[in-house]
Amino acid sequence: MTPDYLHYPREQLAQSVLHMLTAGLSSALTLFAPRRMGKTEFLVKDLLPLAESNGWRVFYFSFMEDDAGEIAKAFPAALADFAQSGRWIAKTVSKIAGRVKIKGTFGPASVEAMQGPAAATATPTVSGTIATLAQQKRPVLLLLDEIQELARKPGTAGLVASLRTGLDLHKDQVKVIFTGSSQAGLRAMFGDAKAPFFHFATMIDFPPLDEGFTRHLADVFKQITRHELSEAELWEAFQQLGRVPLHIRAMVEELVLNPGRTLAEALPGRLAMLADTSGYERQWQELTALDRLLLHAIASGESRPYGQECRARLAEALGVETLSTSNMQAVLRKLERRDVATKDASGWRFSDPNFAEWLKTQE
């Protein structure tokens, strides 16, 4: 098994999350962060091995990887197989840097995606499978990645209801951690009074990686190449890349293969590649004038774009007398539905941090 040297262990965060479940402070948690911010890597490489070392049986499933539209069948089958053998990790996790492999029993460094065997008999309901898991001796932890996709896919209402029922009835024995990358999607699952999981899980903003992460990358780079990377410059590059771990890791890997190249030489190409492949220009052209002004304000650090001062400034830029709070909130909700903007405890921001960085370069 090949170790992932660039992985930055988040042991304290994993211990804190697991303690909330073990101590009975919560039976269900939801971790929120935009995509590519390291949620899946944290689940698989930090939380999963820690939980197993503390006696838990752990099941991971990603609802994002459903190109064939078979999620309503695939998830119950995967969970049922896990209940029978405990040796199945569902769906692909190749996007976690594409290098991890764990077969059968989970280990601290890896996961190998495997297809569950064809069921010889009818797959039990999700609530029935959770009841089976609850009867087993070891506590069970379900890691359900990108759970908001269940609210977006057709034909999943029965699955969602069965999942809620099972977790409600057996919350003392079966705990769950959801992750999500869309505030609008999570609201459809947890926030609305008619939502299937209304107020079911404690919402936690998944903290972004700090300077310890880039120090770790600089240390690993030095160990491999015997060359130095400036920690300060690497941290600055990380921020320019939207603090998205996938992007900075890719750049460090590039420099490992070309140790004679400098960080200053590699960064512009990486930023240009992200802009080229993400279609920001096309997305920008589809927005209205008010959409664009709002996003400019958010990119400049305005966390409350519907405040009086910001509304007055945007109204002047548009050449209109006033913009009401309701006008602004309606536009923000539209941008949220499109996964362009999102709101967390700090206020409004871009769903894709690189979109914000791209926009700054256009000014």
One fold for both 11-205 and 280-361?
A: no
Higher-confidence position of 123 and 26: 26
pLDDT band at 97 (very low <50, low <70, confident <90, very high): very low
Q: Is the CA virtual torsion 43, 181, 176, 347 positive or negative?
A: positive
Mean pLDDT value of segment 11-23 = 94
Are the CB atoms for 38 and 209 separated by under 8 Å? yes
Cβ atoms 58, 51 nearer than 8 A: yes
Span 280-361: which CATH code?
A: 1.10.10.10
End-to-end CA distance of the chain: 47
When comparing pLDDT for 202 and 344, which is higher?
A: 202
The pLDDT-based confidence of 2 (bands split at 50, 70, 90) is: low
Dist. CA 336–CA 329, nearest whole Å: 10
Task: List, in order, residues 6 or more apart from 5 with CB less than 8 Å away.
Answer: 220, 223, 224
Report which DSSP code applies to 119.
P
- Pick from 280, 208, 265, 207: nearest CA to 239: 208
Domain 11-205 is classified in which CATH homologous superfamily?
P-loop containing nucleotide triphosphate hydrolases (3.40.50.300)
Rounded average pLDDT over 210-230: 94
Burial class (CB within 10 angstroms; exposed 0-12, middle 13-18, buried 19+) of 282:
exposed
282 vs 260: CA distance, rounded Å: 36
pLDDT tier for residue 195 given thresholds of 50, 70 and 90: confident
- Percentage of the chain beyond pLDDT 90 is 44
Q: How far apart are CA 263 and CA 247, in angstroms?
A: 13
The two tokens of residue 3 are: 């170790």
Find all residues with CB under 8 Å of 68, minimum gap 6, and list them.
none
Predicted confidence at residue 66, as pLDDT, reads 63
Distance of CA 70 to the CA centre of its chain: 21
Q: Where are the domains of the chain?
A: 11-205, 211-278, 280-361
Distance between CA atoms of residues 163 and 170, nearest Å: 11
Q: What is the pLDDT of residues 152-173, one digit of tens each?
A: 777 888 899 999 999 999 999 9
Contact indicator for 23, 54 with CB cutoff of 8 Å = no
d(CA 103, CA 88): 8
pLDDT tens digits for range 304-322: 888 888 999 999 999 998 8
Q: How far is CA 316 from the centre of its chain?
A: 37
Residue 259 tokens read as 């140790």
